[in-house]
Amino acid sequence: MRTAAGARRTSTETGTALPADARTGPRTIPRPDRPADLRDSVLAGRRAARRAADVLAHAGCTVDEWLVLDALRGLPGSMMSELRAATVTDKATLGRRVDALVTRALVYREVDAFDRRVVRVHLSSRGRDVLSGLDARLAQHEQADHPRDQ
């Protein structure tokens, strides 16, 4: 990386990782201007999402689809805006995920009885069954990763 004057920036200035050490693993340069707790939380979230994605992929589901199914369990008959807030997913991605779930008959759309402009998304009975199976797989994987002390 170069500065405006064309000089090469050091890894200290860019905050990039140093080469891995065979005994200690990858090292990173400490950055006092970044909150460590936030960084650790973000990295832990990424690791958890990656593990969940691996487990869900074996069941033919994505993390986003699982989040939609799980949200619908707690918020039956949700509008898309409610699902967006519950899953922290952008509008286009959510639309694609709901379309995929409708195609697989895991959810269905229904026009609101009181306001025909509103479309609500519901978890189907098949979707409930699939979600129960996904929950069991995730719980089993979580127990294998973090066995409780007996």
Q: Which CATH class is domain 61-141?
A: mainly alpha
pLDDT along the chain (150 residues), means of 10: 56 51 60 76 91 92 96 96 96 97 98 95 97 93 69
Contacts of 1 (CB under 8 A, 6+ apart): 8, 9, 13, 14
Tokens of 87: 């899953």
How many other CB atoms sit within 10 Å of the CB of residue 127? 22
Q: What is the model's pTM? A: 0.71
Which candidate, 150, 121, 138, 119, places its Cα nearest to that of 61? 138
Q: How far is residue 74's CA from residue 64's CA, in Å, rounded to a whole number?
A: 16
Where do the domains of the chain lie? 61-141
How distant, in Å, are the alpha carbons of 52, 66, 140 from that of 146?
A: 14, 22, 10
Opening angle at CA 93, ends 90 and 98, nearest 5: 115
pLDDT of residue 17: 52
- Cβ density class 6-30: b for 16+ within 10 Å, e for less: eeeeeeeeeeeeeeeeeeeeeeeee
